[in-house]
Structure 1
Amino acid sequence: MLVDFRVKNYALIDELEIQFRDGLNVLTGETGAGKSIIIGALEILLGARASSDLIRTGQETAYIEAVFEPRKLKEINSYLMEVGIEPEEKMILLSREIRENGRNRNRINGQLATAGMIKEISRYLVDIHGQHEHQLILDSTSQLDLLDEFIVDKESKLKDMVAEKFARIKELRNKLLEIEIDETEKARQIDLLEFQISEIENAGLQEDEMEGLEKEYKILTNMEDIYTSVGSIYNAINGEDYNKHSTLEEIGFFMKEMENIKDYDSNLEEFYDIIKDIYYQLEELGFQLHNYYDSLEYDDHRLKIVESRISQITALQRKYGKTVSEILTYKDEIKQSLSDLKSQDLLIKKLRKELHEIEENYYETARKLSKIRQAKAVKLEEMISQELIDLAMKDTILKIKFKEKKLADNGIDRVEFMISTNRGEELKPLAKIASGGELSRIMLALKTIIAHIDQVDTLIFDEVDSGVGGKTAQMMAEKLALISQKRQVICITHLPQIASMADNHFFISKKTDVNHTYTDIYSLDQMGQKEELARMLGGVTLTDTTMKHAEEMLTLADDKKSKMI
């Protein structure tokens, strides 16, 4: 259950903390005091979208925190360990920080978490029902979703299978649309691909060819400089065309001089070895330069061939890829595309066959799911009828009508809740006949049943008593009190009948000072609860009559609750 709830700097709330307890927790207060703001804060904590507009004026952040002690802690902790969050032994701590810059922070047990993680565990913790859900129950898709909540885990696998098969059907249909082009377009694409393949293949490209061509082009275009420099260096080493000694002769002289004195000192012997190495390396360099020099030959014809080849490859790179490797990869890809186009008839036949098979499989699975839904619908009708008897709607008949629709990700069923609220009246769509008060009771009946199936710990009702009064209000109050015997119930209400049944009564007020308006909350004692009931019965001014009436309601409520135990 929800044990502790704390809100700070949120909307009209400066800072408040509520300790909820077992049983029926009722929140009352004047219109505009901020009752629904508290439930809104809880919804945001549990994963609803949050805007920085919700931050209290003058503050930079809003903070929401709740402590739960769930019965399904084992299942929750198992999930938390899967996603890398350390579990607690007895409770779950959820918190959310809303920042002006939009970088909100979610935490589970003090550790950063995603909104998805919080939504995953919140289904074990709280079920919130507000007035807006009255409209949801009128929508066919929402009615199907409500029905599906009664399908157990094993049977729900069929829903997953239906969704997977539908996704594959969409994929195959889209693929067929892409490839089923007219013959003129097909011929145009074949001509284009054949030309591109021919152009690339006729070029006879080699993987590393461009690097070799660029190297050769560099040599050929700089041949004069190379020839002059290599010749000068060779002549300097060997002394050709020079009147003075060559570099090699000079170093030979140094080597001979050092040879005469190297035995006098070990350092001199090392110098001798270095000079000798230089001499022989320089001699070898001279041989190699001579051979390289003799091999140099400027070929204007070869230069034109290299330039032409580089230009050809560059043109292909502009059209088909930045490198030769990319061009060759592109060629392989368009070859496959050409092959697919030429064998398109076979491919279309293959895809159509697969589509036919998957559609048949889809309908087979969807019809199995539909049978389960229809069986569940009968049970749900019976359960709702029983709940509505308790809510002073004993003559109401609710039936769930099935129609087959086009295939969709949730199956082939379109459902419509049909209702007759008076004996002898024909069944009509819920959207056309039910009043606001009747919708409130039907939703209360559904939530009661769903809570029983899901074993959710806490049920929250946000002014679901809209349009209800008199005897019906008393029946709804007793139903909420009955539910609270097995579940924690938190209810925002304006009805004194419901408030009188409270095990824990909280009063919400809106106060103002010179510069601020803020919402506050108080836990009422016995006298406070009586005074609040009197206010709800008679307005702002308390009278002896309203106080006596409030006392009678509390006595009657205690008597009814004692008989429920």
Structure 2
Amino acid sequence: MLEELEVRNLGPIRSAVLAPGKGMTAITGETGAGKSMLLSAIRLISGATAGVGRVASGADAAWAQGIFDVDASGKAAGLARDAGVLDEDGDAAGTDSDESGRQELFLSRTVPASGRSRAVLCGHSVPRNVLGNVAGELVTIHGQADQLRLASPARQREFLDMAADDQAEREAYRAAWEKLQAMDERLHNLTNQEASARQRADYLRESIEQINKVDPKPGEDDELKEKRSRVENAAEIAQGVGSALSALDTAQVDADSDGLGASEAINHAIAALRAIHVGGSFEQAADRLESLNADLSDIIFTLSNEVDTDEDAEGLDAINSRIHELDELTRRWGPTLEDVIAWRDKAAFEVEDLDASPEKVEELKAQRQQAFDDAMKAADALSKKRKLAAKALAGTVTKELSALAMAGAGLEIRVVRRDASSTNQQNTVHDDESGSSASTWPLDVNGIDDIEFLFTPFPGSPQLPMGKSASGGELSRLMLALELAVAEKRTSGSSDMTFIFDEVDAGVGGKAAVELGKRIARLSRTSQVIVVTHLAQVASWADTQFVVSKGSTQGSGSKAPIETTVNEVTGDARVHEIARMLSGSESATSLSHAQELLASSKL
């Protein structure tokens, strides 16, 4: 939510600070007082185009800053981290995070009287579009200049998908679509091979054949090199092992020897110690000698096997030849035999993709058709979910419009399934003049549907696309109705969103104005809402109210420049402002009416 908006030298506003509440905040004031400048400030920090004409007369630059309290794990904070202005702990210049998982983001914009504007995110200069992307997750402005955003089919599709809560269906379709795209790419590469691709295939086949001919095994080269070393040093090994066995156990090398080996000597020592019946340290020493003798026996057994090993000195040439073959493989495709084997296996898959034989092409076409059928099935499931949501959403919005003084107005949401059977395009793989293939019609990355929002602003009016069919006030009320219809779903996905409504009360009065204020207040129960209004019946529902007023600079004479101030009104001051909005005066009657209106404007 927006915690604070600070503005300096923007139009008639020299300096102002706005601290909206958590619920509904109303901005009021006489026509021409400068309320639009506050919206201009929010648009600036949202990445809008900056005009030097907005800089206050005599000032070097205009400046606006918004401080937002956001979920540290949310999308806005994630975009800030992606931009490099926050680390993984959420710390950066001009920011602060707490243990509750919340994060403050500072979005500011400087517009000089001459030159280019500067966008700053959390104390770091960033491109304007980065500021806009972050603000897009935090602020939604519904004013005459902002309604065209939902006029695009892409925005309408996104809005409907949010209302449909169809994330699971969209993810399933996206996975099927990506698989289909991958199959199309494989087919394209296969059927459009150039000479270089064929040369690559020949090289891979020859390399695989060479590796398979040698048939290397993992670790085989190390084993052979160890064996070669044993063969080359067989005499030295035999002499050393024999001498060691003679010292440890003479019976291993001479069965007739009467010499006492080390193992037998230790056994005598153990027997002597066991014969001492005192125990204590003597028993402990005997135990240690037994453990030592067990290790010694194991060593003697191992060495005796080495004596029996018959190393084939005549096979040394074969060993060297095999090592040479393996070294050639590792030199070309290594550095290890494991790398050689992995390269061969990967190359085998690549050869399959480069194999343009008719059988291979037909096999891939069949796989591609299956991928297309799977994508169509996923697209149909997504389309069904969208159609159900479109009917429900349009009905809810139409009811809301009636309560917002737009009886007879209505919204229709068309979800039109693209059907290849009504066109000349086909769903199967085909070759075109360029040799490419694989049509994905009627699918695209977003599914199989064309989505259109059609608005009827008054009875008898034709259905026209949004953004081209109504006044700014009517569109603002339509957007309010849309936001009310999806408020619960939107806030469940992003509780940080701030909604701003301008001109939503145009052409509204009486009981309809009360209903309008009530519905804005209802939306503010789940989201922060800021509304710029001329109607007391709307402002009275607000939790917080600011008044924008203008006046001459003190002590500057009759030609003093006009400056705008922004002040929060509470208590009696708010009663007086509501009275002014009701009747243009602050008479006892209007003040009484204002008090009554404020008392009754409660959900």
TM-score, L = length of structure 2: 0.54
List per-residue Cα deviations over 1:20-66 (Å, max 9, x = no partner).
6xxx66466985789969996245668352459899999662669xx
Amino acid corresponding to residue 533 of structure 2 in structure 1: L
Match of 1:96 among 102, 111, 116: 102
Task: Kindly state the Cα deviation for residue 415 of structure 1 after the two structures are TM-superposed.
Answer: 2.0
User: What letter matches 2:519 in structure 1?
Assistant: I
What's the secondary structure of 1:450's corresponding residue? helix
Distance 2:209 2:381 in 1: 55
Query: Aligned to 2:593, which of 548, 551, 555?
Result: 555
C-alpha separation between the residues in 1 aligned to 2:591 and 2:408?
28
> For the Cα contact (< 8 Å) 1:63–1:98, is it kept in 2?
no
| Aligned counterpart, 1:516 | none
Correspondent of 1:414 among 450, 454, 461: 450
Counterpart in the other structure of 1:82: none
Find the residue that maps to 2:501 and give its secondary structure: coil
CA deviation string 1:224-250 (max 9, x = no partner): 99999999999xxxxxxxxxxxxx9x9
* Counterpart in the other structure of 1:429: 465
Corresponding residue SS for 1:463:
strand
1:66-77 → structure 2 map (5 Å cutoff): none
Q: Match of 1:96, as an amino acid?
A: R
Retained in 2: the 8 A contact 1:130–1:463? yes
In the TM superposition, what whole-angstrom CA distance separates every residue of 1:104-154 from its partner, at most 9, and x where no partner exists? Answer: 9xxxxxxxxxxxxxxxxxx9xx9976559634311212212333444477x
1:219 and 1:378 mapped to 2: Cα distance?
Answer: 83
Q: Which residue of 2 aligns with 1:506?
A: 544
SS for the counterpart of 2:155 is helix
Q: Distance in 2 between matches of 1:57 and 1:229?
A: 69
Distance change (3 Å), C-alpha of 1:531 and 1:364 = same
Deviations 1:158-202 (A, max 9, x none): 555544433432343234334445385665345323322332244
Distance in 1 (CA, whole Å) between partners of 2:371 and 2:21 is 54
Counterpart selection for 1:140 from 144, 148, 153: 153
1:65-464 correspondence runs (5 A): 95-98=101-104, 134-151=147-164, 159=170, 161-182=172-193, 184=195, 187-203=198-214, 205=216, 207=218, 209-215=220-226, 218=229, 309-335=322-348, 338=351, 345-360=358-373, 362-363=375-376, 366-367=379-380, 370=383, 373-374=386-387, 377=390, 380-394=393-407, 396=409, 398-405=411-418, 406-421=442-457, 425-451=461-487, 462-464=499-501
Q: 2:570 aligns with which of 524, 538, 559?
A: 524
Match of 2:553 in 1: none
Paired residues in the alignment total: 463
CA RMSD of aligned residues (A): 6.5
1-structure distance, mates of 2:491, 2:452: 26
Distance in 1 (alpha carbons) for counterparts of 2:598 and 2:568: 26
Matched, 1:493 2:499: no
- Decide which of 41, 44, 49 is 2:76's aligned counterpart: 49
SS in 1 for 2:202: helix
Contact 1:25 1:502 in 2 (8 A): no
TM-aligned CA distance change 1:382 to 1:305, over 3 Å = closer
CA distance 1:504–1:192, shift in 2 (3 Å): closer
Counterpart for residue 514 of structure 2:
478
Tell me which residue corresponds to 2:96: 61
Give the Cα separation in 1 of the matches to 2:104 and 2:516. 33
CA contact (8 A) 1:398 1:420 kept: yes
- Asked if the contact 2:546–2:569 (Cα under 8 Å) also holds between the matched residues in 1, the reply is no
Q: For 1:202 and 1:344, how far apart are their aligned partners in 2?
A: 25
Task: Summarize the Cα distance change of 1:509–1:440 in structure 2 as closer, same or farther, 3 Å threshold.
Answer: closer
Partner AA of 1:431 in structure 2: G
- In the aligned structure 2, how far is the partner of 1:45 from the partner of 1:208? 50
Find the aligned partners of 2:173 and 2:456 in 1 and give their Cα distance. 33
Residues 391, 383 of structure 1: alpha-carbon distance in 2 compared, 3 angstrom cutoff: same
Whole-Å separation in 2 of the counterparts to 1:57 and 1:194 = 55
CA distance 1:231–1:487, change in 2 (3 Å): closer
Moved more, 41-50 or 187-196: 41-50
Code of the residue aligned with 2:187 in structure 1: it is L
Q: Which runs of 5+ in 2 are unaligned?
A: 8-15, 46-64, 107-121, 123-136, 246-256, 262-267, 277-288, 290-295, 419-441, 549-564
* Preserved contact between residue 452 and residue 465 of structure 2 (Cα < 8 Å): yes
Change in CA separation of 1:476 and 1:355 when aligned onto 2, cut-off 3 Å:
farther
Whether contact under 8 Å (2:230, 2:311) holds in the other structure is no
Distance in structure 2 (CA, Å) of the matches to 1:448 and 1:497 = 20
CA drift at 1:320? 2.5
Shift of 1:316: 0.9
Q: Secondary structure at the match of 2:151?
A: coil
Inter-CA distance 130–233: structure 2 relative to 1 (3 Å threshold):
same
Once residues 350 and 401 of structure 2 are traced to their aligned partners in structure 1, the CA distance between those partners, rounded to angstroms, is 64
Distance 1:133 1:553, change over 3 A: farther
Structure 1: distance between partners of 2:480 and 2:214: 78
Counterpart AA for 1:548 = S
Contact 1:505 1:523 in 2 (8 A): no
Find the structure with the greater CA-based Rg: 1
Distance 2:379 2:152 in 1: 21
Cα offset, 1:385, TM superposition: 3.7
| Percent of residue pairs bearing the same amino acid type | 19
Deviation string 1:438-486 (CA, Å, 9 cap, x unpaired) is: 32111012122334888989998643124754x4376774234332686
Q: Shift of the alpha carbon at 1:561? A: 8.3
Mapped partners of 1:207, 1:403: distance in 2: 58
Note the alpha carbon deviations across 1:73-99, whole angstroms, 9 max, x for none.
Answer: xxxxxxxxxxxxxxxxxxxxx541359
Contact 1:129 1:464 survives alignment (8 Å): yes
Q: Output the CA distance in 1 between the equivalents of 2:195 and 2:223.
A: 43
